Amino acid sequence: MASTTVATETQFADTFKKFIEGETDASVRKLREDAFNYFLEVGFPTPKHEDWKYTNIGPVGKEPWISPPLFSPGLHGADISVLENFDYRRTGLVALNLAFGHFSFGGSAKGRVSDEPGSFAYAAADGMMLAPHMVFVAEESSKATIIESYASPAKGFVNAVTRIIVGDNADVTHYRVQKDSPNAYHCGFTEVTLGRNSRYNSTNINLGAALSRHDIDLKFTAEGGEAHVDGLYMLSGSQHSDTHSVIDHTVPNCTSRQNYKGVLNDKSRGVFNGKVFVRENAHGTDAQQSNKNLLLSNDARVDTKPQLEIFNDDVKCAHGATVGQLEEEELFYLLTRGLPDTLARNLLTYGFAEAIIRKIGIESIKADLDEAVLNRLNVKLEV
């Protein structure tokens, strides 16, 4: 830990000193300074931490990152309160985000059904550390769609925090698409809280970055909530992608579904760790979790660990994980219909990934992802 702290202090202290000069609000300045001091205390997570056992982000701390100058928009008291109530002490990365955060606030008003999605697009330039911190509040009985996208064009470092508060009877659909440069680094933390009879439906697509990590922390705070947390990671070359999720059933009669798929080629590595907690009071919980992985190379590797921790008998819960190659029977069927071997394999792979992409309800995003997947497989489908 000491060596990590020394490295991070040397790397980021001067950058933070210049950055904080742009903060005009005394309360927010104090919050940033506290968060940065905590980051210096704990440093980056290392493989010695159980939740980071398979992911080493040490290379991130060795780069001379610069930060875009801070533009302080003048936050309202309610916005400052939201920031002050955020627990940045989860990891050094989350604390670093708050210290360098570029804050944005969005939401849907009580009873409003939004026709247009809220879009949040981010890209880190070469040598840049970007720390977007987005807060979205869906008030009671509202309905909204959020599109969160990342497309860094070069070797940048994105360290993002997204916080979504779903009010009573509210409905939020959330698409998160990460297509950063294959030379980039990407770390993201998504926090979701659900109110009474609320609904949250997310699809997380991870195609880019040399090294990426996405943490999801979802909590039911009142009865009747429903959450769908699905995702796809598609890796090649030496890409490394890590997804850690926590779905916390703290109250009775809530439903969660999690379906993640991975497609790994060459010498890529995927990590999936999904924890579902069912607390003592959370009777009537219905929680299902699945992680399926398709290995296209003998050198590709995946570490998967779906977990259930149940402290109540009156529940319906299940989880499972698979790691394998293409089904020989399906491949044989296509070959007997005259398809070349490579095309047959790629079409089966496309079908495996498409099961996640097809649930996206915005055609432009779906078409863009279809093209990205097909390009990755070097396949073109004629309509």
Instruction: Write out the residue range of the structural domain in which residue 196 sits.
Output: 2-325
In this predicted structure, what is the pLDDT of residue 96? 97
Q: Among the three residues 305, 325, 345, which one is the final residue of a domain in this structure?
A: 325
Q: How far is CA 96 from the centre of its chain?
A: 17
Q: Could you say which residues of the chain have pLDDT below 50?
A: 1-3, 5-6, 383
Residue closest to 166 by CA, chosen among 158, 154, 174: 174
- Residue 312 and residue 335 in one domain: no
Tens digit of pLDDT for each residue in 72-119?
A: 667 788 888 999 999 999 999 999 999 999 999 999 999 999 889 999
- Residue 80 and residue 166 in one domain: yes
**pTM of the predicted protein model:** 0.93
* β-bridge pairing 255-264 and 226-235: parallel
- Residue 205 and residue 343 in one domain: no
- Residue 25 and residue 54 in one domain: yes
- H-helix or E-strand spanning residue 133: strand 132-138
Query: What is the tally of structural domains in the chain?
Result: 2
Q: Hey, what are 210's tokens? A: 């040399």
Biggest alpha carbon–alpha carbon distance for the chain: 71
Rg over CA atoms, the chain: 21
Tens digit of pLDDT for each residue in 111-157?
A: 999 889 999 999 999 999 999 999 999 999 999 999 999 999 999 99
- Residue 134 and residue 19 in one domain: yes
Q: Among the three residues 299, 325, 351, which one is the final residue of a domain in this structure?
A: 325
Q: CA–CA separation, 6 vs 11, rounded Å?
A: 9
- Residue 321 and residue 344 in one domain: no
- Residue 31 and residue 100 in one domain: yes
Q: CA–CA separation, 53 vs 44, rounded Å?
A: 13
- Residue 113 and residue 209 in one domain: yes
In this predicted structure, what is the pLDDT of residue 3? 43
Q: Among the three residues 292, 325, 358, which one is the final residue of a domain in this structure?
A: 325
- Residue 152 and residue 264 in one domain: yes
- Residue 189 and residue 307 in one domain: yes
- Residue 98 and residue 230 in one domain: yes
- Residue 54 and residue 189 in one domain: yes
> How is residue 66 annotated by DSSP?
B
Determine contact, residues 138/170, Cβ cutoff 8 Å: yes
